[in-house]
Amino acid sequence: MSQMQKKIMIADDDPGIVDAVEMLLQFEGYAVTTTFDGSTVLDMQDELPDLLLLDIWMSGEDGRDICRQLKAAAATRNIPVIMVSASRDIQESALAAGADDFLAKPFEMNELLEKIERLTH
């Protein structure tokens, strides 16, 4: 494990996905925070993650809007965002919203780890 533990925030309204990804990332040595509510992502103040795993469709929230707001704010502009969605055809709009990468559900855990590794180093 590296000296500084990387912090990953998972924002997804599917508890099954959150649990599985959280367990995997903790096993890999990451510090993980989770939220089922997209609006709480915008409330981040001091504990900014090193990477945000953001679901596009969350109850009442569009992850692309959240991503745009994060990328527009100086404090959160440089946090890499990987957007995830069950819909493969919205990758373009996710990237247009400022996402650094995109994963279609269901995704391979190895693919997720590779993307996280690339974006946090």
Exposure of 99 in the CB half-sphere (CA atoms within 13 A): 27
pLDDT at 61: 85
Q: What percent of the chain has pLDDT over 70?
A: 98
Please say if the pLDDT value at position 34 is more than 60: yes
Please say if the pLDDT value at position 72 is more than 50: yes
What CATH number is given for 7-119 in this structure?
3.40.50.2300
Report, as an integer, the average pLDDT of 103-118: 95
Please say if the pLDDT value at position 85 is more than 80: yes
pLDDT at 1: 45
pLDDT: is 4 or 12 the higher one?
Answer: 12
- Taking the C-alpha atoms of residue 72 and residue 40, their distance in angstroms, rounded to an integer, is 17
pLDDT: is 15 or 38 the higher one?
Answer: 15
